[in-house]
Chain A
Amino acid sequence: MKIERRDFLKGVLGGGLLLAAAADPAAGRSPGKEPPPNAVGILYDATLCIGCQVCVGACKQANDMPAEHTGPEPLWDNPRDLSAKTLNIVKKYGSGDYPVKDTVAGYSFVKRHCMHCLDPACVSACPVSALLKNPDTGVVTYDKKACIGCRYCQIACPFNIPKFEWHSATPRIVKCQLCSHLLAKGGISACCAACPTGASLFGKVEELRQEAKRRLAMTPGEVYDFPVAALGSRESQQHRAGRYIRQVYGESEVGGTQYLLLAGVPFDKLGLPALPDESFVALADGIQYAIYKGMVYPLVVLGGLIYMIRKGEGGKH
């Protein structure tokens, strides 16, 4: 077969159109989503965290999670990272043995658990709605009665939060659900209730964002009031304001999250990746939506196929 120049150009042009069509759905979507009306979350301030891990223990107690032994002897709970037994963990960033806290050359703590994204990839990925975002509080919850264990949520989560019970015959996905069982009783998440310094602060997302802005506006080294446990609680402590990185992590990352972080060390050093403002859900969703909206295109194609096959059959007889 001889490839004519004109045909080749036609092919390239057609290809280009397809390319444009495939790229289009991603465009025109505004980055970031508005939080649900009563969205609640946590503001973690690494400059206030003393690394005591009381929150890790309180989380285990509140959620009936087993101790995790990683040392040579099974004496106490010492998880190394989030796992199927650990929903919440405090990790440490360290550079050499320079002792100054919250500096790049020194060290910093970071508390990791589910971010409760405003546009959660896990919820979009889950084929059976086992992961859902509460329309009121915005908490991302898990239902083992729905889950089929496909682990697509683990692939999709940009923060690698959902964990799987690899050594169980009836495995579940395990992740922080912001103590929704305590919220239902009017309480707050166990990690915030237990935190002795107010480093983990529970509250409404809008108010937490304002609180984060207030802290970024503080003069480093000056003494200020910091609320403890929850925003609006009666308890507060006085601390010197830290030297914050000028960023509230979670304000815009992948469309924004309900877990917000402040720190004195760049977030990528704390294991929190630099992420675009647009959630990865948007692109995949856009393409799926463009092709499958109302199943119109697939049905049209099916009709066309049936017509062509019948026509072909008619020719043969």
Chain B
Amino acid sequence: MAAPTPLNKRIYTWNFWACAAITGLAVFFIIKRFFFGIGSVSNMSDGYPWGIWIAYDVVVGTGLACGGYAMALLVYVFNRGEYSPLVRPALMTSLFGYTLAGISVMIDLGRYWQAYNIFLPWRSNFHSVMFEVAVCIGAYVLVLWVEFAPAVLEKLKAEQLRTRLNRVIFVFIALGILLPTMHQSSLGTMMLMAGYKLSPLWRSGFLPLLFLLSALLMGYAVVMVESFICQAWFKTPSEMPLLIKISQFMPWLLGFYLVVRLESVNLAGNLALAFNGSLQGNMFLLENILLIAAFVILVRPGNRAQPKMLFLAAVAVVLGASLYRLDTYIIGFDPGTGWRYFPSVPELVITLGVVATEGMAYMWVVNKLPVLPKAEHA
């Protein structure tokens, strides 16, 4: 397998400038938000105090950014060194995803200038799930930067610093596995507090377990999707043999998730709600049909060997698990006082701006830093 190298292709392509334009528009609305309040750009309300900035940018976004976590678990805990070419690109997307989720939080926090209060021991509330999530995500962003540092140091030819970092990096790798395990499950615990406001199709004592499993599912699926896309766009060598190997245990993970997901609703006697034709019921069905479809594809070894089928299944997992998270935070949430929520245009533009920023950062980094395996000459 080729060592990671910078792609050294043109960065400032049409794609890059399209992303820049969206980001520019988003910055305009962000400035407006800081001068005139969150209500001036978003449709959030006292009934729906959390919109897509939390549900998509943070809850789905960090789930999609779990590639680094999922791969590190595989390589370092299950000691499967052969997957290591997938680690660095996965770490990079994790780094972007989490950093941008952090920035989104700062836009979403009403009293952002006091955000440091979380870290003041006399203010901290150890009972708060939000406290645990905030501290863990904050710490994990730092850990990701340290984990990714070798790629930067390689580029800067700072060999001495790199050797020194390599001596202690195991601590950061360990934290890089522990912290996501903690906060990804807690993102599920968080919505337990919504009580009856969360539909029984999503409310269950298994929220923490399901959020942890969905983080792993999204992590592996994103690594696959990313590998396929890089292969198509940047002509990096095919990683199919590795992807087939990862896909071997996906059916197990998916199967376990689906059993817990469906049984937790069924045992509580609430499965009938899925078929009452409501938006909540339909979204529940859609979310689970996507994941069942992926399971049906992946359970047959013959399908796993076909790039097309594997790609389809990975996309279905990404969509299904993302929808599960979005549903838990928005669709399944009903404060019960006639409130409705659909994001406003500026609100959507800010979220799109976050995605576009990630796209630009990705294009810049893969071209400048040793992340992706060396391209086959086309």
SS class of chain A's interface: helix, strand, loop or mixed? helix
B17 within 8 A of A: no
Task: Mark B164-200 against chain A: 1 for CB-CB distance below 8 A, else 0.
Answer: 0000001101110110011001100111111111000
Q: Please tell me if the beta carbons of A171 and B125 are within 8 angstroms of each other in the complex.
A: no
Q: Please tell me if the beta carbons of A167 and B39 are within 8 angstroms of each other in the complex.
A: yes
Size bracket, chain B contacts: 35 or more
Task: Select which of B79, B132, B190, B260 is within 8 A of A15 by beta carbon.
Answer: B260
Chain A interfacial residues counted at CB < 8 A: 70
Contact of A121 with B195 at beta-carbon distance under 8 Å, contacts A155-B50, A164-B49 already known:
yes
Would you list which residues of chain A between 1 and 59 have a CB under 8 Å from chain B? 1, 11-12, 15, 18-19, 22-23, 26
A61: chain B residues at CB < 8 Å are: none
Task: Select which of A121, A160, A283, A309 is within 8 A of B170 by beta carbon.
Answer: A309
Query: A128 CA to B122 CA in the complex, in Å?
Result: 9
Q: Please tell me if the beta carbons of A125 and B46 are within 8 angstroms of each other in the complex.
A: no
A184 within 8 A of B: no
B206 within 8 A of A: yes
Q: Please tell me if the beta carbons of B118 and A287 are within 8 angstroms of each other in the complex.
A: no
Query: A144 CA to B175 CA in the complex, in Å?
Result: 34
Task: Mark B317-358 against chain A: 1 for CB-CB distance below 8 A, else 0.
Answer: 000000000000000010111000000000000000000000
Q: Please tell me if the beta carbons of B193 and A124 are within 8 angstroms of each other in the complex.
A: yes
Q: 22 A-B contacts, Cβ less than 8 Å apart?
A: A1-B301, A22-B205, A26-B205, A83-B46, A124-B128, A127-B130, A128-B120, A146-B114, A146-B117, A147-B110, A148-B110, A148-B115, A149-B111, A155-B333, A163-B46, A171-B110, A275-B196, A284-B192, A298-B182, A301-B178, A309-B76, A311-B79
Given contacts A11-B255, A128-B131, A315-B79, 10 further A-B contacts (CB under 8 A): A11-B256, A125-B193, A148-B118, A152-B190, A154-B49, A155-B191, A160-B335, A170-B111, A280-B194, A313-B170
Residues of B whose CB lies within 8 Å of any CB of A are 34-40, 44-47, 49-50, 76-77, 79, 81, 108-112, 114-115, 117-118, 120, 123-125, 127-132, 134, 170-171, 173-175, 177-178, 181-182, 185-186, 189-197, 205-206, 208-209, 248, 252, 255-256, 259-260, 264, 301, 333, 335-337
